[in-house]
């Protein structure tokens, strides 16, 4: 029985390649020599101030990555989203890895279309161009026309399964072999991380799987007016061809280009980050490859939230409900500076072993995260904390669970994309109010449990300072303060009077009893905080703002 090429198996694929030493040995030597020459050139020329030298070096870097093939191009695409890690003159060249790679022969593309769809392209479409409009790591895209509408026809590169199968095996072999001497501490299994990368790539080359992903993703965002997913054209799609409606938009790769088209960069950053948070914390299903070549700014929307289109749904992943809730708890524990509880979250997520003494990590975590996340949430920079955290991971027994490889890739890519549009962007200025609002408006049992942990301590007493901190994060640091007041007030009132709110009511009553006496001090403080936050004047402003935003 023929094995489906969309499945990845580290053991089977390694055996397959080892039994073909005429393929394995030359390729390993070629990759090693290529990286040695690249390293030496960067070592001797990387700090040069000569613009021509840097231009030639960036072109050489692009050529090296392109020559090594799809697996390495995918890794290069991740670098191309990080203006904080890669110098600007190199970044400009690396951006071409997203959708401006050398195209493969047009005749081969036409042959693949005929083999997959059963008829030549000129019979299937009213118009079919003689060259692709974009060429990426796994395929190239043509702008075809049918029934006076334009379609995006993506044709897969030839021999792709063999190339990816070979290089993922070699990457895993080299990664495992070299990990003891690399200045990294990602835990026990760099091979496991590469396995996740391999599984994602093998899924990505199955365009029928991508079509399913696109339909699922579109369904998740069907009620969101700011997110657009192109329509799948099933009759023109197969295992190696995927066809969708054409997107007329501007790629999120350059701030000046957006401004030239009278589009507001900040509005698209917000839509991008909020939709990313929804994918992780609400849907549990996310786009794992959100680089600028896969996201378009569309006309419409408003200055607060721009209209955004996602394309290319080959690399998608899920997050379990347990991990999703633990991540929300971790963010709450960071906000409240509860570092022992945060260490427990890391342990539950698999970043720490069960045997680890968590008390020893309290001070290091405080040193890395303390003070960054309080009143100045808007000034928080994820890159600064990431740098500190990398040192912490090297000094302490942190490890990266393989299931988080694509989550980390997606978050890093998304922040990098935002930094391209706004170098001063702070991801938590949007992320923290989102989490705060979710805690205050989502009445699911799991979220309610987390909210109760914030509002009441283990003895059942009201934690006024934490409630105040939560409201401050939502209303003090939010760019659009008043628009959130009514939804939060409504959700709070509904919760309080609902069946689910019985636990809240019970805890509030118990919090009034201290030493067998009624004590109203904390209750008065809570009422004063609620009165000041949800005053009639603020509610009126919120109502007016909501009316204006819908006009």
The catalytic residues are 289
The three-state (H, E, C) secondary structure of 453-473, written as one string? HHHECCCCCECHHHHHHHHHH
DSSP category for residue 119: S
What is the rounded CA–CA span in Å between residue 406 and residue 319? Answer: 10
C-beta of residue 296 within 8 angstroms of C-beta of residue 152 = no
**264 CB-near residues (< 8 Å, 6+ apart):** 258, 303, 306
Using only C-alpha atoms, what is the Rg of the chain?
A: 26
β 295-298/250-251 pair status: antiparallel
Main-chain dihedrals φ then ψ at residue 338, nearest 5 degrees: -100, 85
What is the rounded CA–CA span in Å between residue 28 and residue 173? Answer: 9
Question: For residue 402, how far is the Cα from the chain centroid?
Answer: 16
DSSP category for residue 238: -
Residue with tokens 């023929």: 2
Buried-state track 529-543, b at ≥16 Cβ within 10 A, e below 16: eeeebbeeebeebbe
Q: What is the dihedral of CA 154, 27, 39, 197, to 10 degrees?
A: 50
C-beta of residue 168 within 8 angstroms of C-beta of residue 9 = no
What is the rounded CA–CA span in Å between residue 544 and residue 551? Answer: 11
């Amino acid at each position: 029985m023929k094995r489906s090429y969309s499945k990845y198996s580290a053991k089977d694929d390694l055996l397959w390649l080892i039994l073909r030493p005429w393929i394995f040995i030359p390729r390993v030597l070629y990759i090693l020599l290529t990286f040695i020459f690249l390293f030496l050139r960067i070592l001797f020329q990387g700090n040069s101030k000569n613009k021509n030298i840097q231009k030639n070096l960036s072109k050489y870097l692009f050529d090296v990555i392109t020559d090594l093939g799809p697996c390495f191009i995918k890794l290069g695409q991740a670098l191309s989203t990080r203006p904080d890690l890669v110098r600007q003159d190199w970044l400009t060249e690396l951006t071409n890895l997203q959708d401006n790679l050398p195209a493969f022969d047009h005749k081969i593309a036409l042959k693949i279309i005929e083999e997959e769809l059963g008829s030549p392209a000129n019979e299937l479409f009213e118009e079919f161009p003689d060259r692709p409009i974009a060429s990426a790591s796994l395929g190239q895209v043509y702008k075809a026309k049918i029934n006076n509408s334009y379609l995006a026809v993506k044709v897969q590169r030839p021999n792709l399964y063999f190339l990816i199968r070979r290089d993922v095996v070699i990457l895993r072999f080299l990664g495992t072999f070299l990990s003891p001497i690399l200045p990294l501490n990602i835990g026990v299994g760099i091979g496991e991380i590469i396995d996740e990368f391999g599984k994602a790539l093998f899924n990505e080359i199955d365009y029928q799987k991508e079509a399913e992903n696109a339909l699922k993703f579109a369904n998740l965002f069907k009620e969101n007016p700011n997110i657009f997913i192109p329509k799948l054209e099933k009759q023109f799609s197969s295992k190696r061809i995927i066809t969708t409606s054409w997107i007329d938009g501007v790629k999120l790769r350059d701030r000046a280009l957006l401004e030239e088209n009278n589009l507001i960069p900040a509005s698209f950053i917000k839509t991008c980050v909020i939709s990313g948070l929804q994918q992780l914390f609400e849907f549990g299903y996310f786009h794992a490859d959100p680089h600028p070549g896969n996201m378009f700014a569309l006309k419409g929307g408003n200055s607060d939230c721009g209209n955004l289109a996602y394309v290319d749904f080959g690399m998608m992943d899920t997050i379990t409900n347990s991990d999703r809730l633990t991540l929300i708890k971790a963010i709450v524990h960071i906000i409240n500076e509860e570092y022992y509880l945060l260490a427990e979250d890391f342990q539950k997520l698999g970043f720490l072993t069960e045997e680890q003494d968590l008390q020893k990590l309290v001070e290091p975590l405080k040193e890395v995260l303390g003070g960054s996340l309080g009143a100045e949430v808007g000034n928080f920079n994820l890159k600064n904390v990431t740098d500190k955290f990398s040192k912490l991971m090297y000094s302490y027994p942190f490890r990266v669970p393989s299931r988080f490889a694509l989550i980390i890739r997606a978050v890093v890519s998304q922040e990098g994309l935002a930094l391209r549009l706004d170098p001063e962007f702070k991801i938590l200025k949007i992320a923290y109010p989102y989490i705060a609002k979710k805690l205050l408006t989502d009445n699911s049992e799991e979220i309610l449990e987390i909210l109760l942990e914030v509002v009441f301590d283990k003895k059942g007493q009201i934690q006024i300072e934490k409630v105040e901190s939560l409201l401050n994060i939502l209303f003090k640091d939010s760019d659009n303060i008043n628009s959130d007041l009514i939804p939060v007030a409504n959700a709070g009132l509904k919760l309080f009077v609902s069946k689910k709110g019985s636990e809240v009511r019970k805890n509030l009553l118990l919090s009034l009893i201290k030493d067998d006496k009624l004590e109203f001090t904390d209750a008065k403080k809570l009422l004063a905080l609620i009165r000041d936050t949800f005053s009639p004047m603020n509610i009126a402003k919120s109502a007016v703002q909501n009316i204006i935003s819908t006009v």
